[in-house]
Structure 1
Amino acid sequence: MRFFFYSFFFLITSLSFGQDLLITKSGDSLYVDLKTKKRFEFITYLDVGNGKIDYRIGTEKVKTYIEDYFVKFTDLMITTDGMILRSDSSLTILNYGDTVRLHEVHPSQIKSITPDYWKDQIPKSHYTYLGSFIEEQQKVLEIDRAKRYDKQFSNSGKFGEISLEEAMMTHCPIDSSAGAFILFDKGEFQYLPSGSGYFFSPGQFSRHLRIKILKPSGTRWGNWTVRSSESGNFNIMVFNLEGDVLVSEKLKAKDHYTEELVNGYYFNKMFIPDVKVGTIIDIQYLSRGMPREWQFQVEIPTLHSEISIEAIPNLRFSYSITGFHPILPIAPNRHWIAKNIPAFHGENFMSHEVNFVSKLNIQMEEASQLNISKTWEGVSKLIWDLIQPNSKNKDLRNFLEGVGALEMAPSEIIDTSFYYLKEKLKWSGVYQAVPFVSIYKPKSLGERIQAGEELNSAEMNLALAYLLEELGVRVLRVALSTRDNGILNPLYPERDKLNHLICYLPDQQIFLDLNDKYAIPGFLPENVLNHQGRIISKDSSAWIDLKTKDMKQVQQVTNITVDENFHVSASVQRRLKEYEYVEWAKVYEELQTDEAYEGTLNELYNFKIEKLNLTDEKGEHYVNQEMTLDLDDQVMVFDNELFIHPILMAEFSNNPFKSESRKYPVDFIYPIKKYYMTTITLPENAMVTSLPKPEAIKLENGFGNFTFVCSSVGNKIQVQYLMDIRKTTYTEVEYYGIKSFFDAISNKLQEQIIIAKNQG
């Protein structure tokens, strides 16, 4: 009898394409009609004993199936309702009765299928056996796949060759919460003797990066932007395991976008398709020249990161390592490796992460026949030499003389020159500390201005400096690194890290920068407020603090009216100034209309704006907002009592500093000042039952203060709230004081005024 079932099993598992079967049982025989190609082939199996099977079969093809699969049979369970048939690679459930369809479970599906899945599909007599089978298959699944599909995988680590272990990974070994992680990131610089000269680097840099996606939150790592000296020299492959088949896809041209930054440098933007949970992304690219840095740590964990650098004759580089994760030098100044690097997690109010991640900084120190300085004084002199020739250019002088002929009073020279050039010149969006010089078609700054070409950030501000000097204003040039480019190290000259140049007027003690859309004279854009810059002049140089007198300011006067039915309305006069204004302007520019902005406020603060007027004073850097509000959805009425927060639209009602300790310094960027005054008018049938208590707190050394005053006279309640932070940066040691300060603010802003109806 057992041999009869053996053969029958191998027939049905080999034909597991969902064919229809008609099965009847009589004694020791099963009669099976197998439907293939729109006809039934009658097959009869008889048990004749002695290890032999006598069968009558309609086609030679079916006979071959039986013989080929006989040896693969491993297990069988017969019940009163049917059979569960098992081989090394599959499980088939077969019920007696009328025409049925086979249910086959492949090992690749076992992990996602539990016995509950089959409760409504198979007889109860099968259930116990099926549960134990699935439990066993879960344990052997990876071994089974390795045996059967080893040819699809490779452990070589070469581009396009994925290991089985990588394909099967379902979590990051060093961070179970990670949505994605980097399997490895390898960079290599090779010396190429054919290249030479200052502008053409004698070497080639290659990078091979492999990422594993684990959760839907990790799919964003399918989009990459890489700055490179090459456009399009990229190879990218995507791998997905579908069942037991590794499916690969190469990135197409439509998924790769190249944007020229400046001549010879590009932003390569990759939008990788079909990225999902389980995807592996393989990226490889080439670039000319030595990289300026190698970043070992990013926002997701990295299992392995390394860079190797081949020596270049007549050139010497210096190297420095920053960050907290240990970096292992394999060969002095040639090869570095880091393993099991945790994801970088930023904190609220910190300077750019580029200042804290673990990375290798690379700086050219010496080159034959080139004067490359090892001091900041020498770097400043080099930049001065690069920017000076433009001031003597005839085309530039002609342009400046034309602007200088404009009629303006001495007190108007700075503002008029600033706004004229802001409108006349076109910024390319590229930050540079020196003018662009093409080695192919050299053009002076004056020629480029006259031709209407886009200018980099240094060229924009140099034109302003030259114009003001023509008009008798003393101007200093200040080279700096923007916030997203990292803080300059006063002890370690980093010429290549200087990526911007602005103007400083020492007599007026103000900075000028034409490159921000919302900039006005004397106002420094947020991205420029980055600790220190370097004054560039002919005879001397020095550090200068990149500080601002401007603040992030809010001034708000609110009048709240409560009627006898506890309906609450308010009128608000609100002024957003300086950096608060810039934040508002960017939001409004994206929304484009008053109605869209009104909808954003309604959703954010849970009230209904009945009327909104905006007065935008761009030249003065403030906006006035007048609004009439319905607050019924914001207040709470319970048992004839009204609960109301008196300070509307207040920032910091939740403390942004929740951790008990701090790893990185606190950086507010600019001073902050918030002033709110609220008057609440009550109806005659109401009385105050609870008011927040007054409170006043000061930061150490008077760097900030917070005051809250609340009083009630007659049917009026008046509340005043002031928060003022004058110092912008605080060390980790000072963190506890900052946390306590904001704890007090958030706790006080969450307190409510309680108003009750008179019962008389």
Structure 2
Amino acid sequence: MKIVFTLLITLGYFQYGFSQDFRFGKVSKEELLEKEHPNDSTADAAVLYREMNTNFDYSQNDGFYLTTDVFERIKIYNKEGFDWANKKVKLYQGSGNSNEEISRLKGYTYFLKSGKIEDEKLRSDGIFEEEATEFLETVKFTMPAVSEGCVIEYKYTITSPFITNIDEYRFQEQIPVNKVALRFTAPEYFNYKMHQKGWVPFRINESGKTRTMHYNTKTEVISGFGAVRQNTKTQRAEVKFMENTYSVSMEHVPALKQEAFTNNIDNYSSSLKFELSYTKFPGSTLEMYTTTWEDVSKSIYDSDAFGDQLKRNNYFDDDIDQLLSGVSNPKEKILKIYEFAKAKMNWNSFVGLYTQEGTKSAYKKGSGNAADINLLLVAMLRYADINANPVLVSTKSNGIPMFPTRNGFNYVIAAVEDGNNTLLLDATIKEGEPNILQPELLNWQGMIVREDRTSSWVSLYPNRHAQQSTMMNLTVNKDDYSITGAAQNRFTGHYALLQRKAYRNANEEEIRKKLEENSGETEISNIEFTNLDKLYQPVALKYDFENFDAVEEIGGKLYFSPLLFLAVDENPFKVEERNYPIDFNYPMKDRYIVTVDIPEGYTVESVPESAAFALGENSGVFKYVINKISGKLQISVEFALNDAVMPAREYANIKKFFKMMIDKEQEKVVLVKA
């Protein structure tokens, strides 16, 4: 990859500028003086202007390639907006010299000093390169001298040989976008489908014009008598063709607000994706590029770095034979191979649809990317006569594939099919269990690709609830109004996975601090975990605690919420309406039984009323039951969400459900002196 860093001070226009106000370098004092966004006072920053310009150019050696000019101006209102001064540009890397490159990178930060506009130039020490995966590099740059109220702007050019795979053009962000413009121009030889996304509508304008392109041709000329001389003759040639231009212009695009339980907010941003449908060059036949999901799965499976890896077993056969000696039960075979793969292989943290090392080399090294490890797992299972196949997955950070494309997937796991049951396995994480995938993989559906090249979709969400069961005994101390107690917890499913990932390698002090983080003024002691290292068993956690701020004494009466730190204290759903789904990752069920010893000399004046309410027909339930039993209070709480993902149309009901639950959990028990 090559970066060309431009130090020239010359200011210029983009080929398709809109107005003098948006010339590079022409930041106004009014923009710098603006204290908050006029349409969104909560915004930490705003995109004042974004322009994206894509054209096709031609190289004698490489043919057509894409050139994209990007120009962006951003207003920073406060310190929380400083992150918008950090930019990351993805550059895809292919085989040979088929790489994307960035050039002509320029940037400035503008600010007011003694009433005058000053600027600070982006220099080379603010630009960084890193390898994200084996096929992706990123260029990061951090704008200099960022302060509250400043304006930053930058521009750069990306050249790309990947005319079939074009990154989407984004028109909406998590901050307001005042004005955004796109111009995509393609020769008549290339026909693209356009895929619109997001809840803010936009119009695509189409136009065409004739373009003349000049290029050089070289021919060899042989001349002379007797002694033959060979010369190269360069000729200037031209070709005329129609260009089709697609343009989008939007103003006052509202911020896409990030809320709790969101999959990947970028899935719902208003944007436009170009998909190459076919090419038709003069004198040649039509070549189709648009594919079906079945075509995608076949092309991936037929790759050397995918399907071919599943044919080889002569490097692990002896190990598997020894592992399965005397084992005939298929379920036992599956678990033995799965645990063997997890123990043998170490994930290098690279995702990947295709192998990085190759399964044989990865096996010998004991490490590899996600494809190395999980394709190896599939090969081992097949060797043991298990009906195993790879599953193509898009991680949450990669987004949801909206149309058939190989680039829609970036991860692979294993599946074992047995009639109507499908077992999903990921050997990259040591804490993994069958059908309990790490949350980053719980992204709608994956595609199973079978040896006969057939494929089908499979849900990645678990069908069993993650469960937490907690029993807690409390004693209210009438002398200092503290509460002492003991808690016993039991976690299964994804709850157990989260506990193992959080605490498996933590020391005692780290565990204590993590447990106390969201517990208010509570000191926790005598912590004891069970089964953190023993998979396929519930994780158990016991501890003692003392709380110093739960009881409030007013006029001789004691007020406290008996759920203490088990109660949810703030509704995660805050906006009035939501335009994208609510993603809880997995179904969940929490059960609490809390027993409170009433201190001597006190009696119960009032307790919260028992209550029960549901979310939809069967999407969720909350039950709160309280009883007085011989000097004690016993509170039983059950909370369940039965659907991992709920549609946006249910948002108002979900918000109300959580409000009612939180209000109930915060209600007080009142004790008075007997």
**Structure 2 length-normalised TM:** 0.80
Closer/same/farther in 2, CA of residues 453 and 640 from structure 1, 3 Å limit: closer
Greater mean deviation of Cα atoms: 595-604 or 279-288:
595-604
CA distance in structure 2 between the partners assigned to 1:389 and 1:487 by the alignment: 21
Structure 2: which amino acid aligns with 1:414? I
| Shift in CA distance, 660/358, structure 1 to aligned 2, threshold 3 Å | closer
Closer/same/farther in 2, CA of residues 631 and 157 from structure 1, 3 Å limit? closer
Q: Deviations over 1:430-449 (max 9, x none)?
A: 3333345xxxxxx7543455
For residues 737 and 216 of structure 1, the distance between their equivalents in structure 2, rounded to whole angstroms, comes to 35
Matched, 1:223 2:76: no
Structure 1 residue 205 corresponds to structure 2 residue 80:
no
Assess, with a 3 A threshold, how the Cα gap between structure 1 residues 519 and 751 changes in structure 2: closer, same or farther.
Answer: same
Match of 1:237 among 97, 102, 108: 108
Query: Structure 1 residue 624: deviation in Å?
Result: 2.4
* Aligned residue in 1 for 2:191: 316
Shift, 1:572, TM fit? 0.9
Q: Following superposition of structure 1 onto structure 2, how do residues 280-295 of structure 1 map, counting pairs within 5 Å?
A: 280-289=151-160, 290=163, 291-295=166-170
Match for residue 275 of structure 2? 363
Shift of 1:567: 4.9
Secondary structure of 1:614's counterpart equals: strand
Whether 1:560 and 2:474 are equivalent positions in the alignment is yes
* TM-score between the two structures when normalised by the length of structure 1: 0.71
Is the 1:576–1:623 Cα contact (8 Å) retained in structure 2? yes
Find out whether 1:646 has 2:565 as its counterpart: no
Change (3 A) 1:520 1:236: farther
Residues 514 and 226 (structure 1), Cα distance of their counterparts in 2 relative to 1, 3 Å cut: farther
Provide Cα deviations, 1:558-601, integer angstroms capped at 9, x if missing partner. Answer: 111235645531111122333233444455479x4332342344
Residue 562 of structure 2: SS of its match in structure 1?
Answer: coil
In the other structure, the counterpart of 1:529 is 442
Evaluate the alpha carbon distance shift between residue 431 and residue 170 of structure 1 in structure 2; reply closer, same or farther with a 3 A threshold. same
Which of 363, 378, 381 is equivalent to 2:298? 381
312-321 or 555-564, which deviates more: 312-321
2:317 matched to which residue of 1?
401
Residue 572 of structure 1: aligned partner: 487
Q: In structure 2, how many angstroms separate the alpha carbons of the residues matched to 1:370 and 1:308?
A: 25
Does the CA contact (< 8 Å) of 2:259 and 2:572 recur in 1? no
* Cα offsets for 1:524-578 (capped at 9, x unmatched): 2212222222222224222222220343322111111235645531111122333
In structure 2, the CA distance between the partners of 1:201 and 1:354, relative to structure 1 (3 Å rule), is farther
Query: Match for residue 705 of structure 1?
Result: 621
Between 525-534 and 735-744, the greater mean CA deviation after superposition:
735-744
Q: Give the CA deviation at 1:726.
A: 1.0
1:331-389 Cα deviation digits (max 9, x unpaired): 25622222221111133323321221110122222257966343222222222222686
- Secondary structure, in 3 states, of the residue corresponding to 1:734? helix
Partner of 2:433: 520
Give the Å deviation of 1:698.
2.6
Cα 1:600–1:505 shift into 2, 3 Å:
closer
Q: What is the SS of the residue equivalent to 1:484?
A: helix
User: Partner letter of residue 335 of structure 2?
Assistant: D
- CA 1:515–1:362 in structure 2 vs 1: closer, same or farther (change >3 Å)? farther
- Secondary structure of 1:283's partner? strand
Determine helix, strand or coil for the equivalent of 1:405: helix
SS at 1:625 equivalent: strand
Deviation at 1:616, TM superposition (A): 4.9
Residue 647 of structure 2: aligned partner: 731
Quote the offset at 1:413 in angstroms: 2.6
Q: What is the deviation of 1:263?
A: 4.2
- Counterpart CA distance in 2 for 1:389 and 1:699 is 44
What do the CA deviations read for 1:289-342 (whole angstroms, capped 9, x no partner)?
253201110111112222222315654321111112232323256222222211
Closer, same or farther in 2 for the Cα pair 1:337/1:430, shift >3 Å?
farther
1:655-670 superposed matches below 5 A? 655-670=571-586
> Hey, what does 1:421 align to over in structure 2?
341
SS at 1:346 equivalent: coil
Instruction: Verify the 8 A CA contact 1:251 1:272 in the aligned structure 2.
Output: yes
Unpaired runs of 5+ in structure 2? 1-18, 93-99, 208-244, 281-285
Q: Distance in 2 between matches of 1:244 and 1:579?
A: 57
**Number of the residue aligned with 1:38:** none
What is the correspondence of 1:467-482 to structure 2 with a 5 Å cutoff?
A: 467-482=380-395
Separation in 1 of the partners of 2:671 and 2:139?
Answer: 61
The one-letter code of the counterpart of 1:556 is: T
Contact 2:414 2:426 in 1 (8 A): yes
Q: 1:741 aligns with which of 657, 671, 674?
A: 657
Q: 1: CA distance between counterparts of 2:551 and 2:304? A: 61
Q: Match of 2:422?
A: 509
CA–CA separation in structure 2 for the residues paired with 1:683 and 1:617: 36
Specify the alignment match of 1:541 in structure 2.
Answer: 455
Alignment of 1:581-730 (within 5 A): 581-588=496-503, 592-605=506-519, 606-618=521-533, 619-620=535-536, 622-730=538-646
Report what 1:336 is aligned to.
Answer: 248
Q: Per-residue displacement from partner, 1:149-179 (whole Å, max 9, x unpaired)?
A: xxxxx94744445345544544434434422
Shift of 1:264: 5.2
Select 2:173's aligned residue among 289, 292, 298.
Answer: 298
Per the alignment, in what secondary structure is the counterpart of residue 460 of structure 1?
helix
Distance 1:303 1:734 in 2: 30
Q: Which residue of 2 aligns with 1:42?
A: none
Counterparts of residues 43-442 of structure 1 (less than 5 Å): 155=20, 157-194=22-59, 202-229=65-92, 230=100, 233=103, 234-263=105-134, 265-289=136-160, 290=163, 291-312=166-187, 314-331=189-206, 334-367=246-279, 372-386=289-303, 390-391=307-308, 396-408=312-324, 409-410=327-328, 411-435=331-355
How many aligned residue pairs are there? 592
RMSD: 3.0
State the match for 2:398 in structure 1: 485
2-structure distance, mates of 1:756, 1:281: 62
What is the distance in 2 between the residues matched to 1:519 and 1:312? 50
CA distance in 1, matches of 2:600, 2:30: 76
SS in 2 for 1:744: helix
Cα distance, 1:510 vs structure 2: 1.2
Q: 1:312 to 1:341 in 2, by over 3 A?
A: same
What secondary structure, in the 3-state scheme, does the structure 2 residue paired with 1:310 have? strand
Distance 2:134 2:341 in 1: 24
In 2, Cα distance between the equivalents of 1:195 and 1:466?
Answer: 44
Deviation at 1:677, TM superposition (A): 0.6
Q: Structure 1 residue 711: deviation in Å?
A: 0.9
1:469–1:475 CA contact under 8 A, matched in 2: yes
Amino acid in the other structure paired with 2:476: V
Q: 1:386 to 1:701 in 2, by over 3 A?
A: same
Matched letter for residue 405 of structure 1: D
How far residue 406 of structure 1 moved from its aligned partner, in angstroms, is 3.2
Q: Distance in 1 between matches of 2:38 and 2:477?
A: 62
292-301 or 519-528: which moved more? Answer: 519-528
Aligned: 1:500 with 2:414: no
- Taking CA–CA contacts closer than 8 Å with sequence separation of 6 or more, which of the two structures ends up with the larger relative contact order? 2
- CA contact 2:436–2:494 (8 Å) conserved in 1: no
Q: Tell me which amino acid in the other structure corresponds to 1:325.
A: V
Deviations 1:654-678 (A, max 9, x none): 3333455443332222111111011
Distance 1:448 1:733, change over 3 A: closer
Which amino acid in the other structure matches residue 404 of structure 2? P
Deviations 1:191-238 (A, max 9, x none): 2221777xx972222312221212232222122222124577433322
- AA paired with 2:55? Q
Letter in 2 for 1:323: G
